[in-house]
Amino acid sequence: MKDRIFTVTQMNKMVKEYLEGNDNFNNFFLKGEISGINYYKSGHLYFTLKDSRASVKCVSFGYKLKKIPEDLKEGDKVKLFGRVTLYEASGNYQILVAHVEKEGSLGKLFEELERTKRELAEGGYFDRKYKLPIPKLPQNIGIVTSGTGAAVKDIIKTAKLRYENINIYVYPAKVQGIGSEKEIIKGIKTLDKMEEIDLIIAGRGGGSVEDLWSFNKKEVALAYFNTKTPIVSAVGHEIDNLLTDLTADLRASTPTHAAELVVPKKDLLIQTLEDRRKKLNNNLLANLRDKKEKLETLRRSYILRSYLETVVDKNNLLMDREDRLKKVISSNLTRKKHLLEVRMEKLRSLNPEGILKRGYTITKAGNKVIKSVGELEKDEKIEIIYHDGRVISRVEEINR
């Protein structure tokens, strides 16, 4: 095997990359006693953390921005949150500190939590009237949790076993430690903007009180409250309700429980639909039988038979009346027709044309009809009208 030769700088660089790239050395809690602490005006904090058999160098850059206590002193027992790094110049590894808690400071966290809880309760953020209804059969579920933890696997497995057609969208987020609050909030807001999402599940599996504390942050609780999409708080824990449990629309005791609460079993849905179909069909058949029985009873009843007989009698009476009316009308028409013919004959007999045909004539002098010889003068020109023509003549002699 060929010898590998490195410079010290190369070696320290490789070790640094290995340490900082190893998940075991990132985002962990470390407990111990403070020794050799120094607060610098530059805003940096240096100290050693030790136990009975070992010690390690620690540094926090810009400790004030991280809200690290400024009254730490020699001998204080603390728990810090941080990650491993290597100072290449000296080859010494150290802990890059992001958060420090004094021993017993958990009580202060709970005091702060109770204050926040009272504030939100007074503001109505826990009121039932603001809870959104959980859909009976969500088609698309969004999940905000660690992308590699057991929680996301449990939710997906449980949901798919209950209803394999469901669609699941996962937003991977840090769920503990520095920066986790921002990632949880971003994940919730991102899924809430997606119109196809019917329901959001946000949470994580179990852990220590410190591990779960991100879900007790006010800004995270408000992100749950402000969603337009129904949201389930699914954090595995045995302690009293977290703030997110109180502001969410539904609280589940674990991520698996959340999937069980919101995803119905497909076979049970099918069975329920079939039961309802049968019940509806039976109700319709029973109602039809009942209507038939009532109809038959009415058909055989005395009242109905009497009514039908009455209707028949009335119809017969109407028919008799109709026949009599027709006869009266016919008689009147015959009489009026005869009277009309008599009058027409009379009119025809009075017609001048008829008189002329019988041999009579009409004598006119000018436009005047002559009714008497006394109306004529000798040598007067007259007109004699027959039924088939006329004659013009002159009076030569008048005999009275």
Q: Find the range with the poorest average confidence among 1-5, 215-219, 234-238, 393-397.
A: 1-5
Residue 207 resides in a domain: yes
> Does 155 share its domain with 296?
no
Q: What's the confidence (pLDDT) of residue 366?
A: 77
271 and 308, same domain (yes or no):
yes
Please determine, for residue 361, whether its predicted confidence score (pLDDT) is greater than 60.
yes
Geometric angle at alpha carbon 247, from 244 and 250, rounded to 5°: 85
Judgement on whether residues 69 and 32 belong to the same structural domain of the protein: yes
146 lies in some domain: yes
Dist CA 224 CA 122 (whole Å): 17
For residue 61, the enclosing domain spans 8-103
The reply to whether 134 and 80 lie within a common domain is no
pLDDT, position 20: 85
pLDDT digits (tens, 9 = 90+) for 97-138: 988 888 766 667 777 888 999 999 999 999 999 999 999 999
> How much is the average pLDDT of 222-247?
90
The CA distance from 372 to 369, in Å, is: 9
Q: Can you tell me the distance from the alpha carbon of 103 to that of 29, in angstroms, rounded to the nearest whole number?
A: 13
Whole-prediction pTM value?
Answer: 0.52
Would you state the pLDDT for residue 7?
92
Whether residues 272 and 379 share a domain: the answer is: no
Both tokens of 190, joined, read 């991102």
Boundary residue ending a domain (87, 103, 119): 103
Top-ranked range on mean pLDDT: pick from 45-49, 320-324, 384-388, 393-397: 45-49
Please report the beta strands in the chain, taking only residues with DSSP state E, as ranges in sequence order. Answer: 28-39, 44-50, 55-61, 77-87, 92-102, 140-145, 167-172, 199-204, 231-235, 250-252, 362-365, 368-369, 381-386, 389-394
Task: Please give the full DSSP string across 231-272, using - where no structure is assigned.
Answer: EEEEE--SSSPPHHHHHSSEEESSHHHHHHHHS--HHHHHHH
228 and 146 fall within a common domain: yes
Q: Are 246 and 125 in the same domain?
A: yes
Q: Is residue 325 part of a domain?
A: no
- The tally of domains found in the chain comes to 4
Q: Are residues 160 and 249 in the same domain?
A: yes
Instruction: Answer yes or no: do 311 and 359 share one domain.
Output: no
Residues 6+ positions from 33 with CB-CB distance below 8 Å: 49, 50, 51, 75, 76, 77, 78
Q: What is the DSSP letter of 176?
A: S
Q: Which of 332, 395, 328, 397 is nearest to 364 (CA)?
A: 395
- Provide the CATH number for the domain around residue 17: 2.40.50.140
Q: Is residue 331 part of a domain?
A: no
What pLDDT score was predicted for residue 84?
A: 93
